Structure 1
Amino acid sequence: MSNALIFLAFALAIFPPRVHSSHSDWLRRFTPGSRDDSSWLWSWAWAADGTVSVVDRSPPITFPARPASFGAELNDPLLGYVIPLSSFTAPCPYGPDNSTSRRHRFEPDPVFGCPELCISGGNEPEPTDTWIALVQRGGCPFVEKARQAQKLGAKAVVVGGDRDNPDALLNMFSEKDASDVTIAATYIKYWDYVQLSAMIAVSNTTHSGLKTLSLLISTEYSAWEWYSPIITFIIILLLPSLLTFITLLIHRIRAARAAQRDRAPESIVHSLPWRVWTGTGWEKHKPSCASAEGASAAASQDLERGLDTPNASTSHDVALPAWVEQQMECAICLEMFGKGDRVRVLPCYHLFHIDEIDEWLINKKKLCPICKADVTQPQRSPAGHHATEHVPQTEPGASTSSRSPSTVAEPTERTPLLQRPERTSDELQSAS
């Protein structure tokens, strides 16, 4: 954010806003693809409200308008006679024998107000009168229309829309220097231009021999018109960072939810049984609601009373294999269990220091660090965890050759990798 403010201050220092026409020109210099007839972005960002009213009609007829970003700023309404340029001008003559030569790449047209135009006919507005030029969009840039109207003596110019985009209310601007334009310019919609032209054609009011109407141009500039370039620039600058922040936030939330699903609830962990190693055997403790400190104090008191009964083992509802009672090392800290150590018994019958395994299950994973068994699932039979070799007893006198393949002990994790296969009775007879 600080870098954005520094860059914005640097840009303002290089391109300071001077007059109304430069409120947005300094930022448009960064847009080489800008057009003279505006676009939707500039129309949204630098739009100002205005009106064009025919005041010699009762009630007055008002058309919505949009002032240009170049030219004079109308702090007060401008009242004058509106005169179409096509009613008293024509393209200036030019040729090899004439001193007047074409200086523009576009064709002069009185309807569009494109230069070079010269006075045609005996009637023309007085230079001291306040009159407003009326032209239509097209043929040349907006700023050229304003220059031509200013050259002919108009105090303002009203540009009407075209048939291709009749409902558009554009914000006229120039991507080049327009500081020489000192008159006001405003834009109205196409159908409003058609209605205004028709009213002038049937008007009974004349000025200097030309049909005209009394027109009032007013503009209402808001604070947004001044601050919109800065706000738009900041939004465009910070939008990628904002989208990146939102993406990372969503990712972190999903990751936190996934991690929470992988953890075991504290109530389940604290309900698991635990033991105390007395030095010669295990002392079983059932899970209770007491705190870990209380359990530790109780275990210490039991040890002080001499409850270190030899071979004090935990009783279970089912028979446990020998490996359960033979665990003497915590797989997390790799330390041997010492006298008075509190040990948690997981549903898979693996033993760990109670503080270490609780930290693991609650804050990391709900799986046993050794066998990856889920502690939130029901207990499995210990025989299903570590299968032991079980060879059924055969009846007396039964031949060893009648042993079916299904009675052969299946290999387990305790089965040696290298062992001699059992020899059948046929092999023994042949060997003898």
Structure 2
Amino acid sequence: MEIMEEFRDMPASFGNDLPADGLRGFLVAGEPPDGCSPLPNPPTVDNFTGKWIVLLARYNCSFEVKVRNAQAAGYDCAIVHNVNSSDLETMSAKNPEGIEIPSVFVSDLAGLLLADEYLYTSGFYIMVNGDLPFNINTHLLLPFAIVVVLCLLVILIFMIVKCIKDRRRARRHRLPSRSLKKIPTCKFSKGDPYDTCAICLDDYQEGERLRVLPCAHAYHAVCIDPWLTQNKRVCPVCKRRVFAAGERRRLHTDSDDTDTEPLLNDNTATQGGTFEEQSVNPFVRATEFMRRLRRENQQRNAEAASQSEDNDETNHVNDDTEVICHVL
């Protein structure tokens, strides 16, 4: 069987479904064309036992009325074509009960061609099936939407991976809270070898809690703690990395790592220092150094004063001698 031409159709939402292999029969133009009034029975053709299909136009009454009239006239299927439009839509009925014959909706151009060239008088059979028409929204927009969704998924995965890497890198550059607790703190008292916090630029007050880094630089604990745990684990003044007592050091190979590495041999752990093993609180060490320096200065001043007194006594003796000699 040769197919002369194909037309797109849209099956109705009521009535029986079309057979899987389609419904084959002769086409008859409706009288009246809109099918809003009773239709005559299909014509009688000798030796023909096939199906009869009626062609109706869309206007004046509902789809339900048209299809009921076609069924009452004895037709096996109804084709309703649009008027002055090529749009296809699904025909519906308010009360579909009792409608058994299938029906489809076609465009106005398809209706005109069917009426002009494919009526039963022209010797053609009509094959009606339930294949949905080509829908550009389904066939083009769906693949495009799939591509867009895939691109968004790739971007989302890339952003998640990048965030994880940045978080790990930032974590390596920050001082853990458990290590921060191992760095000593002291209460500031007058005469201690520290004056101003390099972070807030405020002078230290009596009783304020200071945290002394292994490089012997001290800061307010409330200033340096967020710096070490949220920014970078480096001293704000000397830019050297801070390691707490017993903390294991790891080599950093990141190309963007600009922190100054400690001037220390690659040991597996430190003893509370950035640069060398420390067994004494840097704050105490600095205080002892200042005290020792004061004692040395006092000792030198005392020696200088003693030497000055000896010189005065020697000069006095010489003066007496000169006088005696003069008398004789």
Normalised TM-score (structure 1): 0.35
